[in-house]
Amino acid sequence: MALESLLRRLDRIAGGRAADHRVPVSSDPRVRRAFRVVTWLLVLCLLLGVATIVTAVVLLASGTEVTFAVWMRCLVVLGITATLFYFLWRATAGWYWAYRRLQLFSRIFPIVALVLAAIPGLYPLWVITEQIVFAIVLIGVSDYLHADYMRDAFPKPGLAAASPGTDVR
């Protein structure tokens, strides 16, 4: 129970105004399937991050220079992925704020990754390739999270009392 209390404090920081809004966990098989697919896509992001670090270490051990930007990218990918896993975990428990953060960041991070990959000379080709794959995987996460059935499973606070048939997305 102490862990949940600690997590709720973290939720208040991450969740803002909607930190206390919780929806019933959906019994819709499409929602459960979407969360499973998103979990596997985030595992793929984690594996990409680990593969990037392993590649950087191998290159460094073989005498190839690995720039500070590459090391920062390695840490950022792992940090982003850890954050997305936390949001996913809390969203599967019905926390509206976590679902919304997962939606938001799965749209923002691919854009950031692609913009950084497009900066000439910032990263070597292997990191640019990793960034593009990372962005594509997160776009897949975003697609699942923005499906109508997912949005219906996580109505905005105050919409439960809205009249039927009212679409206020």
pLDDT tens sequence across 60-76: 999 999 999 999 999 98
Are residues 108 and 100 in contact, defined by beta-carbon separation less than 8 angstroms? Answer: no
β-strand partners of 22: 95
Q: Which two tokens stand for residue 64?
A: 């190839």
pLDDT of residue 164: 47
Q: 10 Å Cβ neighbour count for 121?
A: 7
**What Rg, from alpha-carbon coordinates, does the chain have?**
18
Kindly indicate the confidence band of residue 169, based on its pLDDT and cuts at 50, 70 and 90: very low
| Interatomic CA distance for residues 53 and 40, integer angstroms | 20
| Interatomic CA distance for residues 74 and 42, integer angstroms | 15
pLDDT tens sequence across 1-35: 676 666 666 666 666 666 667 788 888 899 999 99
pLDDT tens sequence across 84-114: 999 999 899 888 989 999 999 999 999 999 9
Annotated domain spans of the chain: 28-153
